[in-house]
Structure 1
Amino acid sequence: MTDPRAFAEDLGLPGLQDLHTHFLPPRVMAKVRAQFDSAGPLIGRPWPLHYRDEDDALVEVLRSFGVRRFTALPYAHKPDMAEFLNDWAAGFAARVPEAAVCGTFFPEPGVEAYVAARSDPGPGRVEVWKVHVQVGAFTVTDPLLDEAWGILADTGAPVVLHAGSGPVPTEHTGPAPVADLLRRHPRLRLVVAHAGAPEYAEFLALAEDHERVALDTTMAFTPFFEEMGGAYPPDLLPRVRDLGLAGRVHLGSDFPNIPYPYAVQLDALARLDLGEEWLRAVCWDNTAALLG
């Protein structure tokens, strides 16, 4: 199995930049882990977590892999939760230099106010937002979110969006609501999590049609994920290569909530045989450009 540091060094990179990792308040993370441990209704299959520790120890694991930039990506699943998560994530980024300032939002009265406040220039500005419609049980086209989406379209801050129907579909997942959202706000800078699994072709097409829409690789192409939703269609790979070289495919891992070692994601990307230039773009250049 690939050593992550050696993987980056062999590509001539100073390390890795991972746009899709998770750090959460301890009680929230404990509940998330319990869902994975019990193969909860939105998990759909046994999911034995490979990494399980306190934040500081997990940060050291990423550092040992040579991950030089990563995210917290909190996500709210009920009203009056987002700002608690946003405060915690801001504190996490303040004490962990490699961590981007992350935030989340939920369809609730006042959402546009806190999204606007956390979009103001300054040291606490949210650099990466996270929205998870499967867990949150809402649609991206909820009218309560319209003004917030407009703010983010104007600021250009990226939103890592889990809208694909994996691992378990719900009434709110799938590409159709995202296509509707982009018709309203075509300048949104969305990063479609998990490459849109399992609706790979549809989300790839949305990214090709919108210059600010990208994909992340989170769990995509790995044997575990392909057992759930089927292999990534080989005929799409030339288009994924082109999108990555255009700056719009990003390394994501879902660390620490993954059922295999971190290196499995890197090995999966290397096996695609899309070239070292593509790997350098995906594993460093594209996210470095996105986050500055």
Structure 2
Amino acid sequence: MPATTETLRAFRERLGLPGLVDVHTHFMPERVLAKVWDYFDGFGPLTGVPWPITYRHEEEQRVALLREFGVRAFTSMLYPHKPAMAAWLNSWAADFAARTPDCLHTATFFPEEDAAAYVRRAVEGGARVLKAHLQVGGYDPNDERLDAVWGLLAEAGIPTVIHCGSGPVAGKYTGPGPVGRLLERTPGLRLIIAHMGMPEYADFLDLADRHPGVLLDTTMVFTDFSERLSGFPPADLGRLADLGDRILLGTDFPNIPYPYEHQLRALERLGLGDDWLRAVCHDNGARLFGLEPAPVS
């Protein structure tokens, strides 16, 4: 059953939260989202692990659901899989953010000659977070055509949510190696490691230890679904507590095979304490994006 407003309100009220800040939600042009859903529909037959889309709704209903769940800020994670696509996606995302004020204006890029130009336009137009998907895009983040993009983002202090772990399927440029080289080459770069780098959790925690600009999002991690596929190593739970100010709530809404509330329960049952939960579910994201204080909802 989909998450209930009452259950999520009780979670927020127990922690004294004004809402949730979810840095990993997907909104994109309908025909692009349909192809994403087709991919997950085919995941079960390919792997033997069904991946039903819990929130397969029209855009307006998906936005309304996040608001009902108490999400005060979210993103429109979108990404190209080929050249000459990112600028069009950025145009769509800018329009979506303009008509959806609680969405953090999101943009993306691909290694191509005009990448720096359209990323600069997106930043000047108010983009607050970028998305990079090394698995889907199949590119090396150290491609020289992206050097100016990374430099621009580092200078502006704008974070990029980057899918660089090898789950659910490894790619040529996934894993900690390419991102580690990027961080060495680009001081000050802020990267949010999607899915905590699943399944190379420990390696990406190592990168966070070495680079203060690295954060990690919780997207799908610790859920029953992901624990069956790529369980988080129990020996590293203490490291999550140590990095509590650099872990951000992410869910992958709407493309998740379980109710929204399950991600929150999965974090709660780690037993890392209410202060840690408050930081992850709201305070870290609010600080990162400079959100105005809000009354407890």
TM-score by length of 1: 0.95
* Distance change in 2, residues 1:42/1:195 (3 Å): farther
The 2-side partners of 1:150 and 1:12 are apart by 38
- Report the AA paired with residue 80 of structure 2: A
1:108 deviates by: 0.6
Ranges in structure 1 where 5+ consecutive residues have no aligned partner = none
Tell me the secondary structure at the aligned position of residue 123 of structure 2: coil
- Structure 2 equivalent of residue 150 of structure 1: 151
- Report the AA paired with residue 211 of structure 1: P
* Distance change in 2, residues 1:43/1:14 (3 Å): farther
Q: Residues 223-262 of structure 1: matches in 2 within 5 Å?
A: 223-229=224-230, 231-244=231-244, 247-262=245-260
Tell me the secondary structure at the aligned position of residue 177 of structure 2: helix
- Structure 1 equivalent of residue 283 of structure 2: 285
Tell me the secondary structure at the aligned position of residue 257 of structure 1: coil
- Structure 1 equivalent of residue 293 of structure 2: none
1:113 deviates by: 1.0
1:40 deviates by: 8.1
Tell me the secondary structure at the aligned position of residue 221 of structure 2: coil
1:65-110 Cα shifts (integer Å, max 9, x gaps):
1111100011111101001111111111111111000000000111
1:164-204 Cα shifts (integer Å, max 9, x gaps):
00001111100000000001002110000001100000001
1:60 deviates by: 0.7
The 1-side partners of 2:228 and 2:288 are apart by 31
Computed over aligned residues only, the root mean square deviation of the Cα atoms, in angstroms, reads 1.6
1:112-159 Cα shifts (integer Å, max 9, x gaps):
111122222xxx311010000000111111111111111111111010
Tell me the secondary structure at the aligned position of residue 88 of structure 2: helix
- Structure 1 equivalent of residue 184 of structure 2: 183
1:262 deviates by: 0.3
Do 2:44 and 2:51's aligned partners in 1 also have CA atoms closer than 8 Å? no
The 2-side partners of 1:130 and 1:41 are apart by 28
Instruction: Select between 254-263 and 110-119 the one with higher mean Cα deviation.
Output: 110-119
- Structure 2 equivalent of residue 214 of structure 1: 215
Q: Residues 1-292 of structure 1: matches in 2 within 5 Å?
A: 3-39=7-43, 45-120=49-124, 124-229=125-230, 231-244=231-244, 247-292=245-290
The 2-side partners of 1:118 and 1:4 are apart by 34
The 1-side partners of 2:25 and 2:183 are apart by 25
- Structure 1 equivalent of residue 294 of structure 2: none
